[in-house]
Amino acid sequence: MVQHVIVVGAGPGGLTAAINLAGQGFRVTVVEKDAVPGGRMKGLTLGRDGEYAVDTGPSILQLPGILKQIFWRAGKQLEDYVTLVPVDPNTRVHFWDGTHLDTRRDLERMGQDLEKFGAGKGRALQEWMEDGRRKYALAYEKFICTNAGSLDYYAPWRLAPTLRFKPWQTLYRQLDSFFHDDRMTYALAYPSKYLGLHPTTCSSVFSVIPFIELCFGVWHVQGGFRELSRGMMKCAQDLGVTFRMGTAVERVRTEAGRAVGVKLASGEVLDADAVVVNADLAYAAQKLLAPELREGSRLSDGALERAKYSCSTFMAYYGLDTTYADLPHHLIYLSESARRTDKDALEDRTVDVEDPPFYVCNPGVTDGTGAPKGHSTLYVLVPTPNTARPVDWAKTEATLRERIPKMLEKVGIKGLREHVKAERYFTAETWRDDFNVFRGAVFNLSHTWMQLGPLRPRVKNAQVEGLYFVGGGTHPGSGLLTIMESANIAADYLTREAGKGPLKGWPYVPPMEDAGEQAPLRMARSG
Ligand SMILES: Cc1cc2nc3c(=O)[nH]c(=O)nc-3n(C[C@H](O)[C@H](O)[C@H](O)COP(=O)(O)OP(=O)(O)OC[C@H]3O[C@@H](n4cnc5c(N)ncnc54)[C@H](O)[C@@H]3O)c2cc1C
């Protein structure tokens, strides 16, 4: 009987698992190598006295009802731990031709803006949204909040209703069939990069992601996403979870084909009835699981080598003695190279330091907590290859450090260099070495057809009883939303295994009637 569960890693996946499991009456111990929670979402401080605080990874929360539901299920209120703030516009996307578009939840306003790209584009948006409304609940239920634990996932009776999605169509084709303009198509298809794909290689089923962003909005966490990490840890502690921080796990221990605990890097041994691994899946498989436990599976060394991984990111974090209050919170620049479809571009083989696409987070416009008054922070994300490619990372860092201030002028950020008071940079090697991310591929396994659903490494490990994976590397995928769902899936397996029945209130598809809500969100209802 499962009573005590060890969770390896206090990233978003591990924290969600801990809240879920403690809320259902399990004894939970989280073992985290870092001193602070959050993993890629832990944030960092800059400046001599740490006067600037920046997020390191996630900056956009989609579908906040899912997070709210996780707290509710454990008998807690999200609002007691964090405050969510809607961001408007969602994102300002600058294009290769010098034009730009603000995507936003106010569809009427966005539709009016779209008319400047050509008559009828506002109407095209309405039609695309209508198409999305017809698909959303079905897509969420069939592809995201399901455990994909067997090939039944592909059963015709299950998937037949989804044929209307034309899943064989690419995201590019799907969007282009409505907008007939690459600017709109690429603006809405931008999440494909974070799925390890390109709009022309990504299935149209992922149109549910831009739909969710336009329908439910994009959300910021007051105090930054690092505050979400801390809030989730506090909630877990209030539920009785024990945290062993600054404690690296060296091995998952097994006996007679069952996970029985972990061995720490210090040599200490911890016992448990089940182990939930949140550390990056490909890293954890290779470093924490003995090879004989993975032979012949998707987690064998050979399979992990052959798998396809996402790009990595070059990150620039700045503390500034100025603010960019007239610019939006989220800015994207899509250079001409965002439209490249040659193999080098599609497979993220080379670094583009000439005119790369990039993303900028300008949180000070929503939330002044990360910097002293009159100051602000920025983070800049430039997609790069992961460490499987032969890149001179020191040279790449030196070049991008020097060029980013000039590049930022393309999104209206002028004179950055003279305002920088503190700065820090990450390359793919930082993600690999400091965050234990396999190849520094920060968005994990790509979401190709061969790495989706039951073909993606599963939440419940088939080789070792009582071993579960949560986080971006497993089903359903690599964003915060899907990471939280992986932890819901793990908790559903464990509550059943412990004889407690299915996980309370799951599966849960946030209803579209909640889409118009601004903070504070009302109590999410159980499914
Ligand atoms: C730059 C960037 C921007 C992103 N932006 C967004 C966004 O806006 N919205 C979104 O939805 N998603 C975003 N993502 C994707 C995703 O949400 C994050 O990467 C997320 O933090 C991943 O969570 P995780 O739980 O899978 O893994 P992690 O955050 O990596 O957590 C794993 C944890 O395991 C710990 N660990 C590792 N090895 C060990 C060990 N041996 N022993 C003990 N502990 C260990 C790590 O320290 C870490 O705390 C972004 C990612 C990046 C990198």
Residue nearest atom 3 of ligand 1, based on CA coordinates: 57
User: 444 C-alpha to center of ligand 1: Å?
Assistant: 9
User: 39 C-alpha to center of ligand 1: Å?
Assistant: 5
Instruction: Give me the CATH code for the 4-39+66-78+222-306+446-516 domain, please.
Output: 3.50.50.60
pLDDT over 80 (residue 523) = no
Edge-first strand order for the sheet with 100-103 is 100-103, 91-94, 330-333, 358-361, 376-384, 312-320, 420-426
Indicate the average pLDDT of the chain: 96
Atom of ligand 1 nearest to the CA of 287: 41
pLDDT over 50 (residue 525) = no
User: 361 C-alpha to center of ligand 1: Å?
Assistant: 18
> What pLDDT is stored for residue 513 in this prediction?
85
pLDDT over 50 (residue 524) = no
Atom of ligand 1 nearest to the CA of 10: 49
> What pLDDT is stored for residue 519 in this prediction?
44
pLDDT tens-digit profile of 147-162?
999 989 989 888 898 8
User: 205 C-alpha to center of ligand 1: Å?
Assistant: 24
User: 386 C-alpha to center of ligand 1: Å?
Assistant: 16
Residue nearest atom 14 of ligand 1, based on CA coordinates: 58
ipTM score of complex: 0.99
> What pLDDT is stored for residue 84 in this prediction?
97
pLDDT tens-digit profile of 431-456?
999 999 999 999 999 999 999 999 99
pLDDT over 50 (residue 526) = no
pLDDT tens-digit profile of 459-495?
999 999 999 999 999 999 999 999 999 999 999 999 9
Atom of ligand 1 nearest to the CA of 41: 21
> What pLDDT is stored for residue 527 in this prediction?
31
pLDDT tens-digit profile of 389-420?
999 999 999 999 999 999 999 999 999 999 99
User: 227 C-alpha to center of ligand 1: Å?
Assistant: 14
d(CA 115, CA 105): 17
Ligand 1 environment, Cβ below 6 A? 8-14, 31-34, 39-41, 57-60, 248-249, 278-280, 313, 381, 435-436, 442, 471-472, 478-481, 483
Which is higher by pLDDT, 520 or 26? Answer: 26
> What pLDDT is stored for residue 520 in this prediction?
39
Residue nearest atom 6 of ligand 1, based on CA coordinates: 58
Mutate which of 29, 56, 480, 488 for ligand 1 pocket (most atoms within 8 A of beta carbon): 480
pLDDT tens-digit profile of 233-242?
999 999 999 9
CA separation, residue 139 to residues 61, 149, 163, 170 (Å): 19, 17, 11, 16
Residue nearest atom 38 of ligand 1, based on CA coordinates: 279
Of the candidates 362, 312, 351, the residue with the CA atom closest to the CA atom of residue 478: 312
User: 34 C-alpha to center of ligand 1: Å?
Assistant: 12
